């Protein structure tokens, strides 16, 4: 059976139609409510909201966020629902998720 025939009306392709409503996921980042698309990584959701840094280095307090985006480095670490050291590029957003960064509020690294 062809891919076109498998998709049919109401199949997976129906959700991809231009103009179709897309569900959103609601989460919080440092107490601030945010929305994201289902299936997005936390890192991509934060960057889409203009948040590009969410932790600071121990030495020098330099801001860090996404670097590699594929789980190789550890620049995007944050706390997710109380679990520390989660890589933002690998964790998928979930409704009601509580996300915490470790940047100090006055270091100027947050958007």
Q: How many domains does the chain divide into?
A: 1
* 11 domain residue, yes or no: no
Task: Spell out the long-range contacts of 10-17 with Cβ–Cβ below 8 A and sequence spacing 24 or more.
Answer: none
* CA–CA dist 25, 42 (Å, integer): 11
pLDDT for 21 equals 58
Residue 6 confidence (pLDDT): 44
Q: Is the pLDDT of residue 38 over 60?
A: yes
Residue 98 φ then ψ, to 5°: -105, 115
For residue 35, the surrounding DSSP H or E stretch is: strand 32-36
pLDDT per residue as tens digits for the range 55-67: 998 899 999 999 9
Reply yes or no on whether the pLDDT at 10 is more than 50: no
User: So what's the pLDDT on residue 22?
Assistant: 67
Helices first, then strands: H and E counts in the chain: 2, 7
pLDDT digits (tens, 9 = 90+) for 84-111: 999 999 999 999 999 999 876 554 444 4
CA geometry: angle 11, 36, 42, nearest 5 deg:
110
Is 5 part of a structural domain of the chain?
Answer: no
Q: For residue 79, what is the domain's CATH number?
A: 3.10.20.440
Query: How open is the CA angle 82-75-24, to the nearest 5 degrees?
Result: 55
- Per-residue model confidence (pLDDT) at position 41: 97
Q: Which domain holds residue 75?
A: 23-100
Interior CA angle at 59 toward 42 and 99, to 5°? Answer: 20
User: Cα–Cα distance between 40 and 60 in angstroms, integer?
Assistant: 31
Mean pLDDT on 40-47: 97
**Within-domain flag for 10:** no
């Amino acid at each position: 059976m062809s891919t076109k025939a498998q998709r049919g009306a109401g199949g997976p392709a129906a959700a991809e139609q231009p103009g179709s409503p897309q569900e959103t996921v609601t989460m919080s980042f440092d107490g601030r409510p945010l929305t994201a698309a289902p299936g997005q990584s936390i890192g991509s959701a934060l960057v889409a909201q203009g948040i590009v840094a969410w932790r600071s280095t121990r030495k020098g307090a330099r801001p860090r966020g996404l670097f590699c985006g594929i789980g190789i480095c550890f620049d995007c670490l944050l706390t997710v629902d109380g679990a520390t050291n989660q890589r933002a590029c690998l964790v998928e957003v979930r409704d009601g998720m509580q996300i915490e960064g470790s940047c100090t509020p006055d270091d100027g690294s947050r958007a």
